[in-house]
Amino acid sequence: MSQGIQNRIGNYMHADGAARRRRIGKRDYIIGIAGAYNAFGLIGPEHNGLFILDDTKKRVVLDRHAENPQGGYFGPSREQWAELERVMKMEPEHFKTFCANHPRAR
């Protein structure tokens, strides 16, 4: 199996180490880099990039942030790893604003 889609959370396939947990207030989030989106067995590497899941309320907050146009089968790009680190280090208020204003926010 390609290294970018070794693991799965919901419909998001991701590489080893590409999903992290973060707690803000009373909410737990899972922030990761999807190598592909699994649509009932149809694996779409063109739908990759950072995803944020609200693990407390069991919902998708946003996805496909910082997509790699080459797809995600071969693992996250350097830019995606850097963006994951940046999002993980955001101040709580900045994180909430980032999520609320993202074009792929739910």
Give the residue numbers spanning the domain of 67: 3-101
Please count the helices (runs of H) and the strands (runs of E) in the chain.
2, 6
pLDDT tens-digit profile of 72-83? 888 999 999 999
Is 44 part of any domain?
Answer: yes
pTM reported for the whole predicted model: 0.95
pLDDT category at 32 given cuts 50, 70, 90 is very high
| Structural contact between residues 22 and 47, judged by C-beta atoms closer than 8 angstroms | no
In the chain, the number of structural domains is: 1
pLDDT category at 104 given cuts 50, 70, 90 is very high
d(CA 16, CA 9): 12
Is 106 part of any domain?
Answer: no
pLDDT at 1 exceeding the cut of 60:
no
* Rg, C-alpha atoms of the chain: 13
Is 96 part of any domain?
Answer: yes
Map residue 38 onto helix, strand or coil.
strand
Is 58 part of any domain?
Answer: yes
Is 41 part of any domain?
Answer: yes
d(CA 36, CA 39): 9
